[in-house]
Amino acid sequence: MLQIAIVEDDDREAKVLNDCLNKYAQEHKSVFSIQRFSDGAAFLSDEKAVFDLVFMDVEMPFMDGLKTAEKLREKDSQTVLVFVTKLFQYAVNGYEYNAADYIIKPIRFASFSLKMEKIEKKCRHDTEKYIQLKYSGGFRRLPLSALSYVELQGHRIVYHTDDGELVYYGNGKQVEETLPPDEFFRCNSGYFVNLQRVTGLDGFTVFLGDTELLVSHSRKKAFVETLHTYFTQRRA
């Protein structure tokens, strides 16, 4: 199921786009969950919502679509973004924010359907597992493929990523609830390792490239079994 947001201040235009999506889903046997926001500020303030695809109206009061897209990209580089506008030049400007496509109003289903086929393929291709890290100012989406391991330091949670360390505050239980158990394993009380990043195991030392972490005695057997299952399934 694709999670889709429509950010559109005009009720009629929002309904037209929603109807086009529903008709497309029916014809292509796709499954969409659609949520509409009446302005950019409302869209950005919804910290719980994470979308695979966003249709962004360019011309909106208070905060226009380009400014909303700029703020979206500051915390989320993964969501597929499509601008909707009456003016072609605004659509072109949207590529600055890594937009996948643009749709010119008034929306006609025939042309929309052709674009949507390509957009949906991109969404399916770009869909990647991620976790959502919350903080006082909002949230950040972190692709699991970029995460090597998570370290617990008291109430500090350190996410070791390809781009450096990200520090948040919480506890081990919160981390366990966030990470997929079939891809991450708690090798001791202080570390959750990304099984995909494991390059070796020697005794009670697990290697993640140049990084060495200790596996506790009590977790060693379960870790070896989980690791074996993980790589066996990947080869299947």
Residues 78-112 pLDDT 10s:
789 999 998 777 666 667 888 999 999 999 999 99
Residue with tokens 């949507």: 116
Residues 56, 8, single domain; the answer is yes
Residue with tokens 């990947």: 234
Q: Containing H/E element for 90?
A: helix 88-93
The structural domain count of the chain equals 2
- CA atoms of 187 and 112, how far apart (whole Å): 49
Residues 146-183 pLDDT 10s:
899 999 999 999 999 998 999 988 899 889 888 988 88
Of 68, 99, 126, the residue at which a domain comes to its end is: 126
Non-local (6+) Cβ contacts of 24 within 8 A are 30, 109, 112, 113, 116
Of 84, 109, 126, the residue at which a domain comes to its end is: 126
Of 126, 155, 174, the residue at which a domain comes to its end is: 126
Residues 32, 136, single domain; the answer is no
Residues 179-208 pLDDT 10s:
988 889 999 999 999 998 999 999 999 999
What CATH number should be reported for the domain holding residue 9? 3.40.50.2300
Residues 111-139 pLDDT 10s:
999 999 999 988 876 556 778 787 666 67
Residues 223, 134, single domain; the answer is yes
| Other beta carbons within 10 Å of 55 | 27
Residues 158, 215, single domain; the answer is yes
Residues 21, 104, single domain; the answer is yes
Six-digit token string for 64: 């226009």
Residue range of the domain that includes 64: 2-126
Computed over every residue of the chain, the mean pLDDT equals 89
Residues 144, 92, single domain; the answer is no
